[in-house]
Amino acid sequence: MTTKTRNVLFFLIGLLAISSFFYLALKHPTKPLDLVEMDFNPEFVLTDQNGQSFAAQDLKNFYFLTFFGFTFCPDICPTELQKMALAFDQLPPNDQKKLKLLFITVDPDRDKPEVLKSYVGQFHPKLVGLTGDIGNINQIKRDFKVYAEKTSSKDTNYMFNHSSLLYLTAPNGKAMGVFRPDLSADDLAFNLKSLIR
């Protein structure tokens, strides 16, 4: 091996080492993560915005990020769904392929598939809207430990008081934890980049 060839080889090895260092630094940063440990049961069988059956089992081998809300929600739901969309778009393409975005309604009486289809389409083409019968939705709320209560039942213009956490589930179907609503889209993206393997 000539001296020139040896120098080129050492240069390439050094370049590879530096690239690996920066990749690992970006993928596994030292900044503390914002995921709050919480145990929940991410099992469900619902109906998506296209009227098709959609089950948690369909998400095997995917991470999924879930938000609970309702389409008549004036502020919290649009804010959180927009955050999910912005964070998703910041992820590397390989991470995007591993993550599903879900919106589960707490208001199945009004949020039928056709309503959900129009609604979720405003935020991101990858966002899946899910509904079901009231008994099924109530069970899923208990499983995920979601708080959602009607403010009034006297007319059709009722609202809901509801929790606004984002629930992250691992590809093995196990709960990973939740993100609080005060997290920005940039910080959510940072966390997801760090957690997705």
Q: What are 82-121's pLDDT values in tens digits? A: 999 999 999 999 999 999 999 999 999 999 999 999 999 9
Q: Tokens 């934890």 sit at which residue? A: 177
Place of tokens 């984002």: 166
Alpha-carbon torsion angle 111, 139, 136, 105, nearest 10: 10
Rounded-to-integer distance, Cα 108 and Cα 140, Å: 12
| Confidence at residue 159, expressed as pLDDT on a 0 to 100 scale | 93
- What are the φ and ψ backbone dihedral angles of 107, each rounded to 5 degrees? -130, 65
Structure confidence at residue 120 (pLDDT): 98
Q: Report percent pLDDT > 70 for the chain.
A: 83
Q: In this model, does residue 191 exceed pLDDT 90?
A: yes
Question: Any idea which residue has 């590397």 for tokens?
Answer: 92
Decide which of 22 and 74 is more confident: 74
Query: What pTM, to 2 d.p., does this model score?
Result: 0.82
Q: Shortest CA distance to 195 belongs to which of 33, 71, 46?
A: 33
* Per-residue confidence band for 4, with pLDDT thresholds at 50, 70 and 90: low
pLDDT top residue among 121 and 4: 121
- In single-letter form, the type of residue at position 56 comes to A
Q: What pLDDT is stored for residue 31 in this prediction?
A: 57
5 pLDDT band, cuts 50/70/90, is low
Look at residue 36 and give its three-state secondary structure: strand
pLDDT at position 8, please? 41
- CA atoms of 47 and 40, how far apart (whole Å): 21
Averaged pLDDT for residues 36-60: 94
- Whether 126 shows a pLDDT value over 80: the answer reads yes
pLDDT at 33: 85
Secondary structure element (H or E) that encloses residue 19, with its range:
helix 3-27
Measured distance CA(116)–CA(50) in Å, rounded: 9
Q: Does position 21 have pLDDT exceeding 60, yes or no?
A: no
- What stretches of 46-169 show up as alpha helix (H) in DSSP? 76-90, 93-96, 113-120, 134-144
3-state secondary structure of 127: strand
Interacting residues of 103 by C-beta distance below 8 A, sequence separation 6+: 66, 67, 68, 69, 81, 116, 119, 120, 127, 128, 129, 130
Q: In angstroms, what is the C-alpha Rg of the chain?
A: 21
Gap between the Cα atoms of 111 and 49, Å rounded = 9
* pLDDT at residue 164 is higher than 80: yes
